[in-house]
């Protein structure tokens, strides 16, 4: 495991403009099958992670899917 300097007990990376936005998510470049979600993390500094919570409760990284604003 590793540690990121700006993630601490009471600190978190600065968040970007997609945080809290509703999105549509698809997998494997297949826009014919989408699921709705909401961006719950959108780092604009290290470690640059974006996480989407899907409407069925799963969470996926932006590196595992494609998402676009609704």
User: Quick check: is 46 in a domain?
Assistant: yes
Where does the pLDDT of residue 53 fall: very low under 50, low under 70, confident under 90, or very high at 90 and above? Answer: very high
The answer as to whether 61 is a domain residue is yes
Please give the tally of structural domains in the chain.
1
Domain presence at residue 6: no
- The answer to whether residue 62 is domain-embedded is yes
Confidence of residue 60 (pLDDT cuts 50, 70, 90): very high
Burial 11-45 (b: 16+ CB within 10 A, else e): eebebeebbeeebebeeeeeeeebbebbbebbbee
Q: Which domain holds residue 64?
A: 22-69
| Tens of pLDDT, residues 7-48 | 999 999 999 999 999 999 999 999 999 999 999 999 999 999
| pTM, full prediction | 0.91
């Amino acid at each position: 495991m590793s540690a990121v300097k700006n993630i601490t007990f009471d600190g978190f990376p600065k968040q970007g403009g997609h945080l809290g936005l509703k999105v549509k998510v698809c997998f494997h470049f297949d826009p014919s099958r989408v699921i709705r979600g909401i961006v719950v993390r959108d780092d604009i500094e290290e470690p640059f992670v974006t996480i989407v919570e899907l409407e069925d409760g799963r969470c996926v990284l932006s590196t595992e899917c494609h998402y676009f604003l609704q």
